[in-house]
Amino acid sequence: MPDDWGFFERVSESKEQMRILVNCAWKKDAPPSGLGQLLSITINLYSVRSQQKSKAGMIAELEKLEQRLEDAVTAGGEASYIGRINTPKRLEYYYYIGDNTSLDSLKAMLGKHQEYRLHYYAKPDPDWSFYRYMLPDALEELFIHNAQMVYALLNRGDDIRQPRNVYHWLLFRDSDERKMMRMKLEGMGYRIEEGRSGEPEPEYPYPLVISRFEDVRLETVNGRVDELYRMLGGNGGKYDGWGSVMKQPAIYRLRLWLKKRLGTLSLSGRPKG
């Protein structure tokens, strides 16, 4: 089964900020047979910070530790890595392993890195209940999509800190609900995009397009989507996504122009055989 990784943020019941990375591949399917033990491995982030002089050094060391942990766990037998939870104080890795999977290699690895105060526990979880806890709900699914869109913009050279018109597509069950929400959103500072149309759905035939002038950093986008999603939930509406124009720095646009220009010159100067 192919991996389907999703990254999003969640606040726990104890008000702890969590960043969750989870493989959603088994969201709709039964978990693999024979992997009924939940294995949790925790890294104390304070101890890692104390050993590293820079953030880059800390990240590099955590990446090395993660690979060593995976090698140690899989060396013991059947194991499936399902994801991790990152909090300000700790980093937790989660696996499901078989009843006969040996943890000797893991114990040996932890013994070599006592300075990082690593510890683990394993317990029966044949129904994969903890995995179900890690999976995103409907709003968190939108957060995953937001992260994918923002990272795509970054990879294309977008300066996500630059404000621009950010458009949001909303859908409603009837025209009265749309009219009431329109008035409410205008009062909150949203702009109604009269010249833009959404894509109606059979159950939501009344679209509404709105916009705000702001940046597209992930925290900004998530905050806006969270606000709109919760507003629409009890008012017969549905949140249908967002979009914006790209804002590339001048130096990035210059590099693209030079790349195209040099490519054209190279082609035009090619000797003819």
pLDDT of residue 259: 53
pLDDT of residue 261: 54
Residue 70 lies inside a defined structural domain of this protein = yes
Residues 104 and 174 in one domain: no
- What is the crossing angle of helices 138-155 and 218-233, to 10°? 150
pLDDT of residue 116: 82
Residues 124 and 161 in one domain: no
Residues 101 and 159 in one domain: no
Residues 128 and 13 in one domain: yes
Task: With CA atoms as reference, report the closest residue to 160 among 142, 146, 139.
Answer: 146
- What is the crossing angle of helices 218-233 and 175-187, to 10°? 140
Residues 176 and 91 in one domain: no
Nearby residues of 226 by Cβ (< 8 Å), 6 or more positions away: 139
- Average pLDDT of the residues in 16-28: 94
Residues 142 and 92 in one domain: no
pLDDT of residue 258: 53
- pLDDT tens for each residue of 29-40: 888 889 999 999
pLDDT of residue 272: 40
pLDDT of residue 255: 55
Q: Distance between CA 171 and CA 177 in Å, rounded? A: 10
Q: Tell me whether residue 28 is exposed, middle or buried, using C-beta atoms within 10 angstroms of its C-beta: 0 to 12, 13 to 18, 19 or more.
A: exposed
Residues 28 and 117 in one domain: yes
Task: Give the total number of structural domains in the chain.
Answer: 2
Residues 145 and 212 in one domain: yes
The pLDDT of residue 266 is above 80: no
> Residue 194 maps to which CATH number?
3.30.70.970
The pLDDT of residue 238 is above 60: yes
**Three-state secondary structure readout of the chain:** CCCCEEEEEEECCCCCEEEEEEEHHHCCCCCCCCCCEEEEEEEEHHHHHHHCCCHHHHHHHHHHHHHHHHHHHHCCCCEEEEEEEECCCEEEEEEEECCCCCCHHHHHHHHHCHHHCCEEEEEECCCCHHHHHHCCCHHHHHHHHHHHHHHHHHHCCCCCCCCEEEEEEEEECCHHHHHHHHHHHHHCCCEECCCCCCCCECCECEEEEEEEEECCCHHHHHHHHHHHHHHHHCCCEEEEEEEECCCCCHHHHHHHHHHHHHHHHHHHCCCCC
The answer, as to whether pTM is greater than 0.75, is yes
> Residue 130 maps to which CATH number?
3.30.70
Residues 199 and 129 in one domain: no
Residues 180 and 71 in one domain: no
Residue 261 lies inside a defined structural domain of this protein = no
Residue 226 lies inside a defined structural domain of this protein = yes
- Average pLDDT of the residues in 106-125: 92
- pLDDT tens for each residue of 177-235: 999 999 999 999 999 998 787 888 999 999 999 999 999 999 999 999 999 999 998 77
Tell me which of 30 and 73 has the higher pLDDT. Answer: 73
Half-sphere exposure of 200 (CA within 13 A, CB side): 11
Residue 65 lies inside a defined structural domain of this protein = yes
Residue 105 lies inside a defined structural domain of this protein = yes
Residue 271 lies inside a defined structural domain of this protein = no
Q: Choose the final residue of a domain: 107, 134, 161.
A: 134
The pLDDT of residue 263 is above 70: no
The pLDDT of residue 267 is above 60: no
Tally of CB atoms within 10 A around 248: 16
- Average pLDDT of the residues in 17-34: 92
Nearby residues of 69 by Cβ (< 8 Å), 6 or more positions away: 41, 93, 106, 109
The pLDDT of residue 256 is above 80: no
The fraction of the chain above a pLDDT of 70, given in percent, is: 90
- The residue range of the domain holding 70 is 5-134
pLDDT of residue 264: 45
- Average pLDDT of the residues in 78-102: 95
Residue 272 lies inside a defined structural domain of this protein = no
Q: Which of 118-122, 179-183, 233-237, 263-267 is the least confident region?
A: 263-267
Residues 163 and 69 in one domain: no
Residues 37 and 105 in one domain: yes
Q: Distance between CA 36 and CA 126 in Å, rounded? A: 4
